[in-house]
Chains A and B, each alone.
Chain A
Amino acid sequence: QVQLVQSGAEVKKPGASVKVSCKASGYTFTGYYMHWVRQAPGQGLEWMGRINPNSGGTNYAQKFQGRVTMTRDTSISTAYMELSRLRSDDTAVYYCARDHPVAGTSLFDYWGQGTLVTVSS
């Protein structure tokens, strides 16, 4: 069965960077895009970007351009999301989510359990 298992909670100081991992199993890792979505406390879902695990190609939301880097290691079926120059409003739960392509659209069919990143001085 498809599983996405994320790394544990992190506490960071403002200005630091955080790198969250997402280990995939139960399917061919390189066959599906991987997205990253975050959710600030009490707020809605916010798409950050996605990576093509096969090519390494990325597409980031404009809001995060220049601060986010998505990478992958195909040898261990793991995707990574690194966010730099952290601010207090980056405090959120970060999710990885597998892309499920349907003709003319895309959606998220499997999600990781989420990783809480807390930014505090």
Chain B
Amino acid sequence: SYVLTQPPSVSVAPGQTARITCGGNNIGSKSVHWYQQKPGQAPVLVVYDDSDRPSGIPERFSGSNSGNTATLTISRVEAGDEADYYCQVWDSSSDHQVFGGGTKLTVL
């Protein structure tokens, strides 16, 4: 089955740029989606189809995907961005959904 690998944690100072990676075999050939989850809340979609943003998501959230790595970039990080972030793809070979293990973003 397809596996997505994320770093367990990323730390960044307020105002700086956070980059969260999601690794997978030839992930660049798939569409990657990113979710933000704050404690005690359901996940929220922040980036879909590699780099598109749902309405209501700040432009500070962006994404890219190439080769074996997809990246969620959060510019001008704010305290409110502190959360867990998950990448997700649809594995067409099995028609199954796959999540990465999640990355805890800490704003210093």
| Chain A interface residues (CB < 8 Å from chain B) | 35, 37, 44-47, 50, 59, 61-62, 95, 97, 100, 102, 104-109, 111-114
Tell me whether B98 is interfacial, beta carbon within 8 Å. Answer: yes
A114 vs B42: C-alpha distance when bound (angstroms)? 7
Answer yes or no: B12 CB below 8 A from chain A CBs.
no
A102/B48 in contact, CB under 8 A: yes
Main secondary structure of the interface of B (DSSP, over half): strand
The contact of A105 among B84, B90, B101, by CB within 8 Å, is B90
Are the C-beta atoms of B42 and A46 separated by less than 8 Å?
no
The main secondary structure of chain A at its interface with chain B is: strand
Cβ contacts under 8 Å, B35 to chain A: 45, 108
- Assess whether A46 is in contact with B99, with CB atoms less than 8 Å apart: yes
11 contacts between A and B (CB under 8 A): A44-B102, A45-B37, A45-B88, A102-B48, A102-B49, A104-B92, A105-B31, A105-B90, A107-B45, A108-B45, A114-B42
B72 to chain A minimum Cβ distance, whole angstroms, is 14
Smallest CB-CB A-B distances: 9 pairs: A105-B31, A111-B42, A47-B97, A44-B102, A107-B33, A45-B99, A105-B90, A106-B90, A44-B101
Instruction: Provide the residues of chain A in CB contact with B89, threshold 8 Å.
Output: 105
The answer to whether B31 touches A104 (Cβ under 8 A) is yes
